C-alpha cells in the first residue's frame, strides 16, 4: 500500500463542487492533485490556487482550472502535506521550499487539511530541521540572529549554490534540539529583520489525515 496515495486521495472527499481549493506542494499532495484532475475531467467544478510553481505546473497538466488571489473572495479549503505534525496539530513545513506561499494560502483558507504519512507524526517538533526563508541581502547577519535563538542554521544549497525559493529568497534549515514552544519560536523568528517567514504552522491545521500502524485511515480534527 502506498501510504501517501491513500491519505492524499482521502482528502479529496472534502472537496465539493464550486469550491476554491488551495493546492499544496509535495509528494503526498501530488496524489490529491492527480485525483482532483480525474474528478474535474468527470465534471467536478472547482478552481485551484497553487502554493508553488511546481504545483501550478502539475495542476495545469491534470486539467485543474487555476485562479489568482485577485479573482477570488476566499479560499474554501486548502490541502497540504507536512514534514512533521505534533499532537496539537502544529506543523513543520518547508522541506520542499514553498513554506511562504503555503502559509499564505493556509491562512486564507476557511479550512486547512493536512495529509501526512504515519512517520510524520511526532510528540514534539524539531527532529526535522525547521526551514526559515530569508532575503538574500545581509543573510549572513540574519543567520547570526537566528542562531541566537538556540539553533544551528545551515544555508540550503543546490549544486553548491544557494537554493532559491519561488520568491527569490534563501532558506536556512535550522536544527533546534527540540521545539517545546512552537508559537513563541514562530513569533521570535519573524521578528528578526531579514526573515520573511518560517516553517512553523501553529494552530492552523483543522484536520490531519494519516494512517495508524494497522494502515487504517485516521482523521483527527479540532473540536
Residue 223 pLDDT greater than 60, yes or no? no
What's the pLDDT at 215? 87
Same domain, 98 and 153: no
What's the pLDDT at 183? 97
27 is in an annotated binding site: yes
- Tell me the sheet residues that pair with 186: none
Same domain, 100 and 28: yes
Same domain, 68 and 100: yes
CA 165 to centroid of chain Cα atoms:
14
How many domains does the chain divide into?
Answer: 2
Same domain, 206 and 111: yes
What's the pLDDT at 214? 85
Same domain, 106 and 15: yes
pLDDT in tens, 115-152: 998 889 999 999 999 999 999 999 999 999 999 999 99
- Quickly state the pLDDT bin for 71 (edges 50, 70, 90): very high
Same domain, 117 and 139: no
194 is in an annotated binding site: no
Expressed as residue numbers, the domain containing 78 is 3-122+202-221
* Candidate from 62-71, 114-123, 183-192 with smallest mean pLDDT: 114-123
120 is in an annotated binding site: yes
User: Which residues are known catalytic residues?
Assistant: 102
CATH number for position 188: 3.30.70.260
Same domain, 35 and 92: yes
- Over residues 83-100, the mean pLDDT reads 96
Pairing of strands 109-115, 75-80: parallel
What's the pLDDT at 202? 97
Same domain, 184 and 210: no
Q: How far apart are CA 210 and CA 61, in angstroms?
A: 27
CATH number for position 32: 3.40.50.1360
- Quickly state the pLDDT bin for 1 (edges 50, 70, 90): low
pLDDT in tens, 13-63: 999 999 999 999 999 999 999 999 999 999 999 999 999 999 999 999 999
Same domain, 100 and 8: yes
Same domain, 149 and 191: yes
Same domain, 66 and 109: yes
Same domain, 46 and 76: yes
CA 24 to centroid of chain Cα atoms:
6
Amino acid at each position: 500500500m502506498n501510504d501517501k496515495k491513500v491519505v492524499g486521495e482521502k482528502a479529496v472527499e472534502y472537496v465539493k463542487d464550486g469550491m476554491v481549493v488551495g493546492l499544496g506542494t509535495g509528494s503526498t499532495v501530488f496524489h490529491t492533485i492527480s485525483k482532483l484532475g480525474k474528478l474535474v475531467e468527470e465534471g467536478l467544478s472547482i478552481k485551484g490556487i497553487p502554493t508553488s510553481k511546481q504545483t501550478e505546473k502539475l495542476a495545469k497538466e491534470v486539467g485543474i482550472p487555476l485562479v489568482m488571489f485577485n479573482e477570488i473572495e476566499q479560499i474554501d479549503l486548502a490541502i497540504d502535506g507536512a514534514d512533521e505534525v505534533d499532537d496539537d496539530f502544529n506543523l513543520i513545513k518547508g522541506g520542499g521550499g514553498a513554506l511562504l506561499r503555503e502559509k499564505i494560502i493556509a491562512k486564507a483558507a476557511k479550512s486547512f487539511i493536512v495529509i501526512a504519512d504515519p512517520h510524520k507524526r511526532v510528540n514534539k517538533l524539531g527532529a526535522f530541521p525547521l526551514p526559515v526563508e530569508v532575503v538574500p541581502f545581509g543573510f549572513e547577519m540574519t543567520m547570526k540572529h537566528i542562531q541566537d535563538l538556540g539553533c544551528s542554521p545551515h544555508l540550503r544549497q543546490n549544486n553548491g549554490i544557494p537554493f532559491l525559493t519561488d520568491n527569490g529568497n534563501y532558506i536556512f534549515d535550522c536544527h533546534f534540539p527540540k521545539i517545546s514552544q512552537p508559537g513563541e519560536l514562530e513569533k521570535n523568528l519573524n521578528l528578526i529583520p531579514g526573515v520573511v517567514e518560517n516553517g512553523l504552522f501553529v494552530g492552523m491545521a483543522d484536520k490531519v489525515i494519516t494512517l495508524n500502524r494497522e494502515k487504517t485511515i485516521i482523521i483527527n480534527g479540532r473540536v
